[in-house]
Every structure is written in C-alpha cells, then in structure tokens.
Amino acid sequence: MVTYGQFVLKIEGKCNVYADVAELVKKDIILYEALNYAYVRKLLSFMDPFVLDAAFQDDKCSAVSSLLVLYTGGTIGMRPVNGTYDCVPNLFVQTLKNMPTFSDQEYEKVKERPYQKTSDQVFPDSTGLQNERFPVHLQPSQFTTFALPLTKDHRRIFYSVAEYSPLVDSSDMTQDDWVRIARDIGAYYDFFDGFVILHGTDTLAYTAAALSFMFENLGKPVILTGSQLPIFEFRSDGWGNFLGALLIAGGSQPIPEVTVFFHDNLFRGSRVVKCSSDQFHAFASPNFPALAVCGTEITFFPELVFRPPAIDRPFSVHTGLCRDVAILNMFPSVSTEHVAAFLAPPTKGVVLRTYGAGNVPASRKDLLELFRSASERGVLIINVTQCYRGGVKAVYSTGAVLNECGVIPGYDITTEAALTKLTYVLGKVESSDVATQRSMLSRSLRGEVTIGSSARLTESKLSLSDPSMLERKAISYLAHVFTEAQHRDMDTKTAIWARRLITSFACEAAASNDIAMLEDINEALGHLQLSDTEGCSTLHKAARHGHIQAVRFLLRHGVSVYTKDLWGLTPLDHAIQSPRASFELVMLLLHAGARLALSDFHVPRAVNAAAGAGDIKRLRLYRLAGCTLEEWDSEGRSAIHVAVANRHLETVRFLVSPCTLDLNHPRDLPENSLDVHKYLISGAGVHPSTRTSWQTTALDEARLRGFTEICELLESTLPLS
C-alpha cells in the first residue's frame, strides 16, 4: 500500500513505490520535499500530454474529452469456452485495438512524434485518501488508451480502459464490488471528463442504483452499459451500447448523473430495471422517461436531468453501506413466521413488495402488528409495488394501514433503488437517528422517486398566464419552443432561433450579473445549463466576468463546474484568467468541486504566461487551484524558469518562498480568515533547483543571462549541502 510521504514513479509502463524523497534523489530523480516546499508534479496525467496537445492543435478537432472505462466483466467481453460464454482476461482490450470504430488507426501515428518527451510522470499520493486516490489494485500502468475517430461535431474522445482482475460475472457482484468501483472512480475523478463502466446485465440495475447514492455531489457523467451478446460477435448489441456510452459521456452535453445506456436509450441509473433476459432492449425505466435517445441524432432532454438544490461541496464517495437489509415479497397466505424472520435482528431495513398500489391484506392483524413493532424498534420498512409500472398510493384502506404501522411509502421507486437506498441511508453515520433516516427515505435524493408535484416530468416549467412584462413573455415563449423542439426533434427556423436566443439571453445575463433575468429563464426553462457556440456555459460567462453573485446563483441552480468549452477550459480556468479574478471567486468554485485539468499543456502554458508577465496574483490563484507551479509546458519549462528569463525578481521571490498551506487536496483549502491571511502572504513553495526537461535549473539560466540579483536570491534559498 502506498502511504503518505511515499511516491509512485511510472517508468516504462511500470509503477514503483519509493519510501521517501531521499531514495528518489539517490536515483538522480529531481524531486524534493523540504520544509514547507510542496510536492513536485511535472504533469499529473494518465495520458500522453503530447497526444492531447496534438488534438487541441488539430484544425479539424473542435474539442477534446478524456474518459476512463472500467471493464469489470460481463457478456460484452466474453468468448465461447467449452460451449459456454466466459470472461477471458486481456481479450477485450486486445480486440479493441483491431476495431477501427473504437480505435482510430490513423491517429495512432501521432504517438510517433519527433519532438522532445517530458521525463517520466510522477504520481504523488494524496493525503489521507490512499485507498481512494490511488488504489493498489488499479494503477495507471494498467490503462490502455484509445482514440475514437472524430465525431460528427469534430470532437476527439480519448478513453483509457482499465480491466479488472479477476473479471467479475455480474451474478457474483457484491457490495464490496460496488465499493471498489466507487473508489476507483473517486481515485481518478479529477483527471477524466467522464466514466463508463462495462458491467454484466444481471445485477447492473442494482450497481447503477447503488453508485447513484454512493456518489455525493456528482458533477460528471458515469454511464453503465453492457450487452446481451459479446461485442466480438457479428450481430452484437455491445457495439452500439459501448459506442453510445462513449459518445454521450465524452460529448458536448454530458449528464452529471449515474446513468445506464442500453439499446439507444440513456436512463437514470436509479430508475432502471432489467426487463428482458434475451432481447436487446434489456433495460427499461418504467416510471421515468429516458434522459437521451439515440436515433439519427442523439436527442437530450436537459429538463429531465436531476439537479441538486445547490452545488456547494466537492464530489465525494460514501462507502459505508449497511448489509443488514432484505427484500420481503407479499403473497397470498404468507405465514407469520416467514414475515417475522425477515424483520428479526440483525435486520435494519426491509423493502416490502406489496400488491398493486401498495396494498397488504388488512384483515391480517398478525402481519400488521409485526410491521408496527418492527418500525417502533427502529427497523426501516419501505413499501414498493410488485407491479412493473406505477407506484404506491394510499388510495385503498388496505394500503393506508401500512402508513399507520410506520411503513414508509416508496411511491414509484424501483425495488433495486429502494434496496440500495436503504443500504446507503442506514450506512450514513451522521444520519444515524431513525427520524433523520426516515426523512431521507421519504424524499428524493438522486431523482430515484417521484413525490408530489414533481410528477410533471415532461412539462416545461412554463407559465404564460401571469407574466407582467414583455421580456418575461418573450423568455417564456422561447423556453416553450426550445423545450418542444427538443421533445419533438424539431428543426424549424422557429426552433433554431428559439435555441439561439434563449441561450444568448442566458449567457448575456450571466455575463452582466443580471440575476433577475437568470431567475426568469430558470423559471421558464427549468435549468440554466446552457452553452453558446464556443462551448462556454452560463457559468463560464459569469466566472470570466468575475461576477461572484451570478456564479453563486448558477451553482445553487445546479450548473456544472466541470463543463469545458471548445478549448478545454473550465469555469475555473476562466475565473483565474479573468481581468476581474478574485480570491473569493476561485474559492467559491473550488468549494463547489471545480478542478483544473492538468492532463495537457494548457494550464502550464497559462501559468508560464503569468510568470512571464510577472503576474503574482494570477500565479497565487493557480497555486490555490492545485497547481504546484512546477508543471512543465510543452517546451519542458516551468514558471520559475520563465520568471527568471523575463527578469522578474519579485516573481521569483514569490515562487521560491515557502508555502504555509498544503494545497494538494481540496480539504486543505483555507477555511478561516487566519488561513487566508497566511496564504496571501506566503509563497508558492517551488524548489529553487527545479529543472527543465533539459536538466537546467533556474540558477543556471540566471547565471547564463548575468542576472546577478536573481542569482543571489536563488543561492540564498538553496538548502545547505
């Protein structure tokens, strides 16, 4: 196990663990940890940064996305072995290499570049999250990276496949496997734009529902898929399922939920059930419409996407699940002993599958007494229907009696979601009192259940009867046309103009800090996740113009901090590069889970541009956002070398001065005024002996140029030999 203070060094595809910095220095690896100096990251990436950079520089490429694919097992990668399908290790990845649809053979030539490579990549372990951040069983050396051919909208999607060992048949899936998958995604969450999980179909609905709850404050797409026939077979459904999942996860409209893509439909993960054992339409969402549908085009329904009331905390993984749960089916003449056994200790939660709209035999006083006594001693019982479609409603006396016994109505939740919701709620230590647990089970946590007025799923939140201003009438009309165009796949001039205008209004409102306009658009349309033709979302616009009020409003209404524009820049990039950049704005985005993408050269280029301009404020913001300021650009230089070359003495002084806070993890962000003050007067913690890819130090460059004052500063900061 890699522990705090250790380092993982990737050399020629192999990862080796070194005990401390001294051991690395002995091997001529320039990596230091002295006093308050930060860890060095040359470029924290699981993909070749030159390949990514080449994609960004390609005139034919409009945008770039990177995905992580977890191949856990299932039919999609099986081969016939002795007359039955079985998982064959390493076969899936090797076969993908020979499938042009999944591996652009022409683009492979980019890897044969003539220019200078950076040195081996260094992966520092994160404080306190050893198992989640870099799990021992899933190291970057196991990744095989592919590039899809350019999509219809000229997007380049890279995906890295990590194959589990051993591969798991979905019938063998347990809570431990859910935790493993969740931790793996948590480990690499900051370094990919989305995730695809290849999974067997038998328990896929359970895994999808479980992950929906385990991922808290999720802001990126996580799509599960599989197939009924192996992808290698001539008429397999695996081909379309896998490709569709990749295109949606890496596309221009990523849906920040756990979803299931199967047979051209993208369903919410906490709403699906397996409906067929042998048909290609193996999954359905009986009580909630699809979030996207694939035909000649991929049609998205953004008004259906679950958006939490506020995004004010970073993504996290909850792995504490309760195992003491069960599913109890009602059937005629069920015995008292049978029911009592299900409700007896150590059972803490039960999914009670009842008849029709939630009914049980009201004449069975023995059963009702069992339910009442179990509820009184703290057992959580959630009532769900045995029917394929519909939900629990206390419209009959036989159903109302369960409410009187303390049974919680499950409305239209699926059995799979009810069970996994119980495991999640009962596993929340901070919500260990029964009243809080019952409250959590009675409301929608991830869009898994329809309660009350939210039943109007497919209607636009349009209100034309009461607008008092022409502006509001125009917005409502455009929102109505916009929504109708999406549902009916309309491509009329009116629909096109509605899309353009409503997006322009929203982006302009964000850019001008017009909160009233944003409120009107959100009320009419139901969301504010809109982007202009350059891929800039409303949050990009507000951040770029430094509007803290608008940024806070957009975050509270579920706008994603992870959306990238056509240049691969996030709202956090825009906030730092803004002429009105502020510490408060960057902190607001960071606390909402925003992260810089350190997988290619655009951040090091921006950092070095700030160093070249002597812009200490911007360097400080990049340091706050997670840069060590020692990342190399494509020329193999970091900020200190650029600052020296431009003779910015004070910038060099800031870079080499100790940093008072460890900012390598979001939990280390300044939390109080004292921490903020300490950070604002501290340096960046860059080691003065940091080298370029050509092995020259900042002191070497200062001496070469005859910058005496910088030489004296650097010499005074070097540790004594």
Residues known to be catalytic: 201
Contacts of 596 (CB under 8 A, 6+ apart): 570, 572, 573, 603, 622, 625, 626, 627
Nearest-5° Cα angle at 48, 109 to 90: 80
Contact 561, 592 (CB under 8 A): yes
Where do runs of H (alpha helix) occur along 27-80?
Answer: 49-57
Helix and strand totals (H; E) in the chain: 26, 22
Helix (H) or strand (E) holding 87: strand 84-87
From the list 463, 360, 458, the residue with the least C-alpha distance to 405 is: 360
CA distance 589 to 607: 19
The sheet with strand 325-329 has its strands ordered as: 325-329, 349-354, 380-385, 408-409
In angstroms, how far is CA 77 from the centroid of its own chain? 25
Q: How many CB atoms lie within 10 A of CB 137?
A: 12
Q: Identify the sign of the CA torsion 343, 347, 348, 354.
A: negative
Helix (H) or strand (E) holding 515: helix 515-525
From the list 189, 65, 80, the residue with the least C-alpha distance to 133 is: 189
From the list 297, 323, 316, 25, the residue with the least C-alpha distance to 153 is: 297
Question: 94: which 2 tokens?
Answer: 């090797």
From the list 163, 171, 414, the residue with the least C-alpha distance to 283 is: 414
Where do runs of H (alpha helix) occur along 275-390?
Answer: 336-343, 365-376
Instruction: Name the one residue in this structure whose structure tokens are 């370094």.
Output: 191
Contact 328, 352 (CB under 8 A): yes
Question: 75: which 2 tokens?
Answer: 């039919």
Q: How many CB atoms lie within 10 A of CB 335?
A: 10
In angstroms, how far is CA 47 from the centroid of its own chain? 18
Contacts of 328 (CB under 8 A, 6+ apart): 339, 342, 343, 350, 351, 352, 353
Contact 503, 491 (CB under 8 A): no
Is 202 one of the annotated binding-site residues?
yes
Contacts of 708 (CB under 8 A, 6+ apart): none
Question: 412: which 2 tokens?
Answer: 């239209």
Annotated binding site for substrate: 170, 201-202
